[in-house]
Amino acid sequence: MATVTSITPASTLQSSVVRAERQVRQGETRVDQDAARLDQSRTQLRRDRETLAQSERESTQAARTPQQAAPAVNLDRAIQSPSRAEQALTGLLTASRPQVNSLGQAIGKFINVTA
């Protein structure tokens, strides 16, 4: 029996090697990108865990702290000497002269207009 061997041209072998090397480089690039994303995910996870732990500490602290009642308001004093905000509000609520626009119309009042 005779065996048949085929000889592959050198250019075909070289192109196969080049293609394989390119695929290896692409694979390495993907591995590097995946590793970078994994590092970012781990960093974000660490931050999220820290934030969660801080929130849990604050929640526990808030649950331990008794609710304090608002201080009682002394109404006698409030009536005798109103706060500055109340004083300013009183001044704004007093009747003022109506403003007039450039056409001599009172601002803020309804004006009859026929279509």
Q: What are the CA-CA distances from residue 64 to residues 58, 59, 70, 94 (Å)?
A: 10, 9, 18, 49
Backbone angles phi, psi at 2, to 5 degrees: -105, 135
Residue 97 has a pLDDT of 63
Examine the pLDDT at 52 and tell me if it is beyond 80: yes
Nearest C-alpha neighbor of 73 from the set 65, 63, 81: 81
Which structural domain range is residue 54 located in? 34-62
Q: Which residues are bridge partners to 106 per DSSP?
A: 100
- Residue 88 forms part of a structural domain: no
- Residue 56 forms part of a structural domain: yes
Mean pLDDT of 72-97: 66
More confident residue, 18 or 7: 18
- Residue 54 forms part of a structural domain: yes
Tokens (6 digits) for 35: 């590793």
Confidence (pTM): 0.43
Residue partners of 90: CB distance under 8 A and separation at least 6: 82
